[in-house]
Structure 1
């Protein structure tokens, strides 16, 4: 009796996982629409930096060299105590389209990135805003062009892909897999008309969207979430789209070790509890059903007929390999599918450890 219940539960969780992956494939079959290349919106590229002197020297030239007719770069110095402001000023002297917003800590908004971003958004010359981080670089000279061409009268929020540079490290493989899986989800949800998050490394929106929801006012007290919590407030099926052209991607240096990545993800995951209930439900169901799928599969292989369990597991992996395989090709993430079972189990353990740790202590934020 117990084994029968466990078996049918296993079948249900397997079905849930397969349905999720089939749903995730939706963005892969998005028909290419003809873009209005004559639109050529003026763009303000906004970069908020805190103690990023070295990264600005390395990556800012890739923004400056963008092939786009009319854009400015708004550099926000968020109360840095290194040479960040000096580096910004040296670039400003050489390039007329660079504007500096120097932010000092205030008692009310001490160390709050959202406060600094708000000042930068207000100082921007143009209404179409494109965000990235100081440690990111576009992978092509057409990044601004490929992101901005997705703007239209209806589409005022554009989700982009922020990838990590490939390195021969185990942690790099996990980071890139987790980044790919996250992108598959937020692109798919946006495609289905329910956008729930974005990454600040590559995000564009019209300034009116920011002021329509009074900026970050609903979550200014939460240190993280200037990207995903903004999307929770501002994005809907009518105003949100995404960019999948490889020339629209940005690239960052991945965390150097698991400890660094662990602290980074703690900050990111801590904002999920502030999502809308429907998003929390569907994201939790995906995670929990995956854990139960693997647990029940492990038990039933020993105590049930393996000839029945194995085909279900293989069907799950077949669907997963196809979807993630096509997605990794679309988003230019090599080698992921070759290590998929290993990466999936490892990432589950990693996320579980973050969840347990976050229950007992609060993560550090923007410093």
Structure 2
């Protein structure tokens, strides 16, 4: 009772500015709470089905490679040796000059289910990954297409078994998950934590019936869906977006499913340079500008609320009258979110980051602000 009276007296003593700031802070807290408890928590409680024991339809795996001989030598075998009765691996050699072509030719003689498509230098086509992906899809023999990158390694030999066409034939898009390998650096922790939140967001929203993106390191869709919608025709001029823009344009509540079984994860090599990572994120930000308006609104709201929550929180902590209220609300936010995200971190193969969640959340916020600021000035992006 005394605590309630003290709280009431504190509110009464605040001026208009302090009350406005506190109100905005509480609003941001509640919106943040909605995304955590009613969107992301849905992924935490999602029942993961066992991988099917029987393959139903053949699969074409599409891999685009530009000067990727080292990664192909390291990871392509794990794709070629998948435990699946009928599949092919289509590798598109996109204008490489590092020996990728010779390596693939030698490997194709050893593996009959490896198909090599070569894109040569020239002026008669639009250079870029979307053109390479299109060539790979055209060369694919089967209807169900599974996509990954040259620097990726499936978590198990059952990856394709889990990423095959779901039993529901209405499903045309299957969104997988692709974590990054662990390295000993703060940058690596940031990359993995940012990737984690991106994955939680697009997978959770897909479960809620609003799929808005996928990652080309681990996703699948029907070949007929690609050609029915004229491929990447509407955004061929954008350097990035062969994965997320395609999903954003054609995925909906009734044709999209997710697959997050641990044996279907696809591990990927992370950037080791901060500036390389910034360039990568710049490509992603550039593609995001072309999302559907409702998706842009929701994603912008998430970022804006996170930004305002921290900025207003800092201001409240600097004002003596709101110091303890600010600390209380901020602590409550951390406590509530700590019941959701550490569980998701473990589910998505980043369990060791659970203990660092509050600190990484703050570092990620600073990085996203920096990335948004730099994206205003860095205009040109390219693939490889």
TM-score (norm 1): 0.96
Counterparts of 1:320 and 1:264, CA distance in 2 = 28
Contact 1:151 1:158 (C-alpha < 8 Å) held by counterparts: no
The Cα shift of 1:308 comes to: 2.4
Contact 1:37 1:149 in 2 (8 A): no
1:106 & 1:222 partners in 2: Cα distance? 20
Match of residue 249 from structure 2: 233
1:291 aligns with 2:307: yes
Distance 2:52 2:358 in 1: 42
1:31 has 2:31 as partner:
no
2:57 counterpart of 1:41: yes
- Contact 1:262–1:354 (Cα < 8 Å) also in 2: yes
1:133 alignment partner in structure 2: 149
Is structure 2 residue 342 aligned with structure 1 residue 328?
no
Q: Does 1:9 align with 2:21?
A: no
Contact 1:76 1:117 in 2 (8 A): yes
Contact 2:55/2:164 (8 A) holds in 1? no
Give the number of aligned pairs.
367
Q: RMSD across aligned C-alpha pairs, in angstroms?
A: 1.5
Asked if 1:203 corresponds to 2:214, the answer is no
1:120 is aligned to 136
1:254 equivalent to 2:270? Answer yes
Give the whole-Å Cα distance in 1 for the aligned partners of 2:48 and 2:366: 38
Determine the C-alpha separation between the residues in 1 that align with 2:270 and 2:51.
Answer: 32
Identify which range, 244-253 or 23-32, moves more after superposition: 23-32
Asked if residue 66 in structure 1 is aligned to residue 82 in structure 2, the reply is yes
TM-superposed CA distance for 1:334, in Å, is: 2.4
Task: Quote how far apart the aligned CAs of 1:142 are.
Answer: 0.6
1:214-273 C-alpha deviation (Å, 9 max, x unpaired): 100010011100000000111111010010100000011111131221111111221110
**Separation in structure 2 between the aligned mates of residue 110 and residue 286 of structure 1, nearest angstrom:** 35
* Alignment partners' CA distance in 2, 1:261 and 1:58: 22
Specify the alignment match of 2:163 in structure 1: 147
Once the two structures are superposed, what CA deviation does each residue of 1:155-206 show, in whole Å capped at 9, x if it has no partner? 1211011110112111111111001000000001100111111100001111
Q: CA deviation at 1:32?
A: 4.4
Alpha-carbon distance change, 154 to 172 in structure 1, aligned in 2, over 3 angstroms: same
Q: Which runs of 5+ in 1 are unaligned?
A: none
Q: Deviations over 1:270-304 (max 9, x none)?
A: 11100011111111111111111111111112313
Does residue 195 of structure 2 align to residue 173 of structure 1? Answer: no
1:308 maps onto 2:320 in alignment: no
Q: 1:77 to 1:289 in 2, by over 3 A?
A: same
Distance 2:104 2:358 in 1: 45
CA shift for structure 1 position 210: 0.7
Matched residue SS, 1:130: strand
The 1-side partners of 2:380 and 2:335 are apart by 37
Counterpart in 2 of 1:356? Answer: 373
Match of 1:93 among 104, 109, 122: 109
Bigger mean CA offset, 214-223 vs 141-150:
141-150
For structure 1, which segment, 206-215 or 295-304, has the greater mean C-alpha deviation from structure 2 after superposition? 295-304
Q: CA deviation at 1:150?
A: 3.2
| Residue 346, structure 1, aligned to residue 346, structure 2 | no
Matching of residue 270 in structure 1 with residue 273 in structure 2: no
Q: Secondary structure at the match of 1:310?
A: helix
Q: Which has more radius of gyration?
A: 2
